[in-house]
Structure 1
Amino acid sequence: MELVLLAIAVGIGVGIVVGALGAGGGILAVPVLVFLLGMDPHDATASSLVIVLITALASLPHHARKRNVQWRAGLVFAGVSVVGAVLGSRLSALVPADVLLTLFGVMLAAVAVVMLRRGVGARRDEALEVAAHGTTEAADPPPVEVHDDPVLDQPGPDMVETADGLHHHHGEAELPLAPSAAPSPRLGRVIAAASLTGLLTGFFGVGGGFIVVPMLVIALGLAMRSASGTSLLVMIIATITSLLARVGTEVYVDWTTTLIFAAGSALGGVIGGPLSTKARPSTLTLLFAALLAGVAVVTLVETLLL
């Protein structure tokens, strides 16, 4: 009973962070499942996949209704990522637990650095916009929609500035790209991006929103909102593949704890979402970077020194 209550409380806490900061829940779920709920690292990566899958399935219909899902591009990208997902899942099962957590901590630190650079750049852009307008109005932009659903691995505000022009139009409806407007992606770039996405998803048990969205923008030339919605389709296929690839291994999924955690996280996401509506994108991005850096430090210290 105590474990169930802890799973609910921790799940809600992670969900609030996800909703407020747009942070990737898969990135946060693995260390939480290991260090707070006492799961084996390999089991935690599998449980994280289940959590990401459930929330992505719940959120996809909404984004589909908003026409933010590019089905053809998403299916092609996801299809290529399957190979990486299978390979990553099999490799993950073979890697010792301490090594897996160490690599996970290094990945967290790397993502934190990237987010920090994005946040500093976004803050600089906001300052330039304020100077250009000669007022402070630009420093308090209209509410930014981080994501519409409590998706564990949805992109946060840190990703908004990566799409051309979006940082000048927060909160406005984005017109869909005409087929001729999107740049022609290079096959090699698409294959490399999709394979890396699948590999990270399978190996670390993360949904990959932090990597899928920029990959879709860069490799396929999708607009930001389309990339955000399409990433859900990619994550669903990649996580299903990664879970199936673990069949026959010694990985065990604690379904009770996992499903309770997922439900708590979804509830927390609903609570946390409104917290971000009046915050500047750069502030949310910097908070996300600080959070990831903190989790990275804890993960590496717990794994290497204790």
Structure 2
Amino acid sequence: MLLAIILGVLTGLSLGLTGAGGGILAVPALVLGMGYSMTAATPVALLAVGAAALLGALDGLYKHIVRYRAAMFMAVTGALVTSLGVRISHALPEKVLVTLFVAIMLWIATKMLRRPAAVPHSHTPCCLNPETGRLRWTPVGTVTLAAIGAVAGLFSGMLGVGGGFLIVPALKRFSDLSMHSIVATSLMLIALISLSASAMSLAHGAVIPVSGWVFVAAAMGGMVIGRQLAPHIPSTRLQQGFSILTAVVALSMLARTYLF
């Protein structure tokens, strides 16, 4: 149980600091650290990430930095394809799922090591209205948000991740929101998508063991700690550290699957 607590806290801490890290580390923590199979780890990871992200989203709502309309809209489009992701996860062999997951992790690690070029606001699909401070709901912006939500929902159901590793870079690339607002909005979307995907996994017969519930509770504690520490750590250092950790975990999972 101590290991479940430690790994859960680290997962929630990562999610709280970056708005993107917890989901993609939850599954490796359960598989590598606690001996879960990929299929068994999925519902536990979804529930842990969803519950922890919900705490972070509530904190963001209190601070008025969550774009809740955009988050709910993306959650709806994500929910429409989450069940497809769950079906894919049950249809594909374990090695195929792990290989796909590792490929995504390494891609993310590479992207996070690079600092994205700034995008002029005039070319950003999702822009804030300077007069109201709210997002402009243009046709292009609406389609962009819908696509982000759909892709996040698909990977949530298929791989047991909250989608933050896609949401945060996508909102940075396609919106002019501040980083604080992006992280808070991402946490709300992750909570909605992950809890929805978790419910679907449970409906398909998934069972959460006692160690899984301990992991979930610990992740929520880690989120609280992460949200307190986030303002005091440079975002560049967080991205670099998370990138290196993601690559190490990905290679460890690959070695465990094919060599042991």
With the length of structure 1 as denominator, give the TM-score of the two structures.
0.71
Asked whether the 8 Å contact 2:49–2:219 carries over to 1, the reply is no
Q: Please state if 1:61 is matched with 2:15.
A: no
Asked whether the 8 Å contact 1:46–1:243 carries over to 2, the reply is yes
Correspondence list, 1:60-209, <5 A: 60-118=57-115, 178=132, 182=136, 184=138, 186=140, 187-209=142-164
Unmatched runs of 5 consecutive residues or more in structure 2: 122-128
Q: Please state if 1:233 is matched with 2:230.
A: no
Counterpart of 1:141 in structure 2 is none
Asked whether the 8 Å contact 1:47–1:253 carries over to 2, the reply is yes
Secondary structure class of the residue paired with 1:210? helix
Counterpart of 1:302 in structure 2 is 256
- Tell me the distance in 1 between the aligned counterparts of 2:133 and 2:18: 32
Identity fraction in percent: 33
Residue in structure 2 matching 1:283, options 222, 237, 244? 237
- Tell me the distance in 1 between the aligned counterparts of 2:151 and 2:12: 26
In 2 relative to 1, CA 27–221 (structure 1 residues): closer, same or farther, beyond 3 Å? same
How far is 1:40 from its partner?
A: 1.6
Q: Give the structure with the larger helix fraction.
A: 2
Asked whether the 8 Å contact 1:102–1:304 carries over to 2, the reply is no
Alpha-carbon RMSD across the aligned residues, in angstroms, is 3.0
- Tell me the distance in 2 between the aligned counterparts of 1:196 and 1:23: 15
In 2 relative to 1, CA 162–291 (structure 1 residues): closer, same or farther, beyond 3 Å? farther
Secondary structure class of the residue paired with 1:246? helix
Residue in structure 2 matching 1:246, options 172, 183, 201? 201
How far is 1:298 from its partner?
A: 0.5
Counterpart of 2:168 in structure 1 is 213
Residue in structure 1 matching 2:211, options 249, 252, 257? 257
Counterpart of 2:24 in structure 1 is 27
How far is 1:41 from its partner?
A: 0.8
- Tell me the distance in 1 between the aligned counterparts of 2:143 and 2:220: 37
Secondary structure class of the residue paired with 1:69? coil
- Tell me the distance in 2 between the aligned counterparts of 1:5 and 1:181: 44
- Tell me the distance in 2 between the aligned counterparts of 1:40 and 1:97: 8
Q: Report the number of matched residues.
A: 252
How far is 1:245 from its partner?
A: 2.6
In 2 relative to 1, CA 179–9 (structure 1 residues): closer, same or farther, beyond 3 Å? closer
With the length of structure 2 as denominator, give the TM-score of the two structures.
0.82
Asked whether the 8 Å contact 1:86–1:241 carries over to 2, the reply is no
Unmatched runs of 5 consecutive residues or more in structure 1: 123-160, 165-174
